[in-house]
């Protein structure tokens, strides 16, 4: 390394644990771009970094918590949302972000995901969907499209996959968006909106996995997969989410699908606690209270 | 290239910002996203390799860079970034020209 090289400082270095960079993600993988875009959005949002926490599960995307220089948790498989819920309830002033993959959030943590959306816990969930389990060797998961080949479905997948945006919207998320990792500016705006919105906000990012999913399905290298995204992406904000499923034909409907208002879990909880409880001494009629006190 | 309906009235005054691109060679993994998606085709894949054996991008025509920052945000390895160069103040002559343009 020359002296000139050492002096170079990337603008995002302030928010990264530099000793861990370069990261483990393969050449052509979209996860680095997702993290880069997320950091750009986080810096733009001007949220106090000392009151921000990021939680990740296991998997390739789960490494994000280790690379970001914030208070971060790298939790057990599938449990980033329970950890994040606990964080949020213990300290409601914290901004809690869950950054994880589809195998972690939707398959193993699927139950936690739908219930956090139902309760409208004040979290920002960013799910990177690469249609496979990357770190463990390309097994088929709940998002693997039908007829796609994977390590566990060598003759083609025959299980129907989840449509994550539809699942989140049906479970009650207040903000649902889907973008590919190539739409960096739109994705940045979406994440920015999600960070500033109260309630369970969900952003799905479609990202290529050239090493496993791409190789097994002969989709070419990372660059070719992204060029296919460029060709096949349709922006439609008002699409009926039933029709926005992802299949092997490559058509990807993207957009900001849902943006509604609903009271969050923390608000409802504190309202409930503040309400007068009927079992308190003052609420019992005087005559009855006297009787009770007499017996005691 | 996108098609413009008319020439913008303030073309004489406004100058596109100029950028300078820095490449952190040791971080690059040669995915060539920056080369492919640069809107002004500033970068090119060179024949140089870094210590890990990845092909590095190279600045082909630095004058074309308009500091759009797309390479900074799309790079998965935090290996490339763009610095905005300071602009020279616009001259009075150019301002007069624009006013003429607006009137006509």
The residues spanned by each domain of chain B are 25-86
Question: Does B46 lie at the interface with A, CB-CB under 8 angstroms?
Answer: no
8 A C-beta contact, residue B7 and residue B72? no
C-alpha of A12 from chain center: 21
Residues in chain A with CB shorter than 8 Å from the CB of B81 are: 10-11
**Cβ contact, residue pair B76, A10, below 8 Å:** no
**Cβ contact, residue pair A5, B24, below 8 Å:** yes
3-state secondary structure of A263: coil
| Domain locations along chain A | 3-263
How buried is A215 (Cβ within 10 angstroms: 0-12 exposed, 13-18 middle, 19+ buried)? Answer: middle
- Residue A223: closest C-alpha in chain B: B33
Per the listing, tokens 């994440």 go with A191
Question: Does B27 lie at the interface with A, CB-CB under 8 angstroms?
Answer: yes
Q: Which of A27, A29, A225 to mutate to test the interface with B (most CBs of B within 10 A)?
A: A27
Q: Which residues pair with A85 in a beta bridge?
A: none
Q: With the C-alpha atoms ordered A56, A184, A196, A204, is the resulting torsion angle positive or negative?
A: negative
- Of A144, A134, A71, A133, nearest in space to A108 by CA: A133
Residue B14, Cβ neighbours under 10 Å: how many?
13
| Separation between Cα atoms, residue A245 and residue A198, nearest integer Å | 27
Question: Does B59 lie at the interface with A, CB-CB under 8 angstroms?
Answer: no
- Of A241, A215, A219, nearest in space to A232 by CA: A219
CA distance A56 to chain B (A): 18
**Cβ contact, residue pair A22, B77, below 8 Å:** yes
Residue B77, Cβ neighbours under 10 Å: how many?
24
3-state secondary structure of A99: strand
Residues in chain B with CB shorter than 8 Å from the CB of A182 are: 37, 74
Low-confidence ranges of chain A (pLDDT < 50): 1, 3
**Cβ contact, residue pair B22, A40, below 8 Å:** no
Q: Which residues 165-184 of chain A have a CB within 8 Å of chain B? A: 182, 184
Question: Does A6 lie at the interface with B, CB-CB under 8 angstroms?
Answer: no
- Of A113, A108, A117, A101, nearest in space to A56 by CA: A101
Per the listing, tokens 């996108």 go with B2
Q: Selecting from 3.40.50.970, 3.40.640.10, 3.40.50.720, 3.40.50.2000, what CATH number does the domain A3-263 have?
A: 3.40.50.970
Classify domain B25-86 by CATH architecture. 2-Layer Sandwich (3.30)
Per-residue confidence (pLDDT) for residue A90, from 0 to 100: 93
In this structure, what is the dihedral angle of CA atoms A182, A184, A189, A194, given to the nearest 10 degrees? 60
**Cβ contact, residue pair A188, B30, below 8 Å:** no
Greater confidence (B90 vs A32) lies with A32
Per-residue confidence (pLDDT) for residue B28, from 0 to 100: 93
How does residue B95 score in pLDDT terms, banded at 50, 70 and 90? low
Per-residue confidence (pLDDT) for residue B93, from 0 to 100: 62
Predicted interface score ipTM higher than 0.90:
no
**Cβ contact, residue pair B76, A188, below 8 Å:** no
8 A C-beta contact, residue A180 and residue A252? yes
A22 cis-preceded (ω within 30 degrees of 0): yes
Q: What distances in angstroms separate CA B24 from CA A92, B70, B78, B81, one per listed residue?
A: 40, 16, 8, 8
Per-residue confidence (pLDDT) for residue A35, from 0 to 100: 95
How does residue B14 score in pLDDT terms, banded at 50, 70 and 90? confident
Q: Cα Rg for chain A, rounded, in angstroms?
A: 22
Greater confidence (A295 vs B12) lies with B12
CA distance A12 to chain B (A): 8
């Amino acid at each position: 390394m020359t002296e000139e090289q050492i002096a170079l400082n990337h603008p995002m270095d302030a928010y990264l644990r530099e000793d861990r960079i370069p990261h483990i993600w393969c050449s052509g993988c979209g996860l680095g771009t997702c993290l880069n875009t997320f950091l750009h959005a986080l810096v733009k949002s001007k949220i106090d970094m000392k009151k921000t926490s990021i939680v990740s599960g296991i998997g390739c995307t789960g490494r994000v918590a280790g690379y970001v220089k914030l208070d971060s948790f790298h939790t057990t498989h599938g449990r980033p949302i329970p950890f994040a819920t606990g964080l949020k309830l213990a300290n409601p002033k914290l901004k809690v972000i869950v950054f994880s993959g589809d195998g972690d959030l939707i398959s193993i943590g699927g139950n936690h995901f739908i219930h956090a959306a139902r309760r409208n816990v004040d979290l920002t969930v960013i799910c990177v969907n690469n249609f496979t389990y990357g770190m463990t060797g390309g097994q088929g998961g709940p998002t693997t499209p039908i007829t796609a080949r994977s390590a566990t479905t060598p003759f083609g997948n025959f299980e129907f996959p989840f449509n994550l945006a539809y699942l989140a919207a049906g479970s009650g998320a207040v903000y649902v968006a889907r973008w590919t990792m190539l739409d960096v500016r739109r994705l940045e705006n979406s994440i920015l909106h999600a960070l500033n919105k109260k309630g369970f906000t969900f952003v799905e990012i479609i990202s290529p996995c050239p090493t496993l999913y791409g190789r097994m399905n002969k989709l070419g290298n990372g660059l070719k997969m992204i060029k296919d995204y460029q060709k096949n992406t349709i922006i439609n904000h008002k699409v009926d989410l039933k029709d926005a499923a992802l299949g092997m034909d490559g058509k990807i409907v993207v957009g900001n699908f849902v943006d509604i208002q609903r009271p969050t879990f923390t608000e409802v909880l504190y309202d409930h606690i503040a309400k007068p409880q009927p079992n308190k001494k003052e609420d019992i009629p005087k005559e009855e209270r006297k009787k009770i006190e007499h017996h005691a | 290239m996108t098609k413009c309906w008319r020439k913008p009235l303030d073309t004489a005054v406004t100058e596109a910002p100029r950028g300078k691109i820095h490449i952190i060679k040791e971080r690059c993994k040669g995915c060539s996203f920056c080369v492919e998606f640069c809107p002004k085709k500033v970068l090119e894949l060179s024949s140089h390799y870094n210590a890990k054996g990845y092909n590095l991008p190279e600045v082909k025509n630095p004058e074309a860079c308009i500091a759009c920052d797309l390479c900074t945000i799309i790079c998965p390895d935090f290996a490339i970034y763009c610095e905005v160069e300071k602009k020279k103040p616009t001259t009075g002559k150019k301002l007069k020209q624009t006013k003429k343009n607006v009137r006509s």
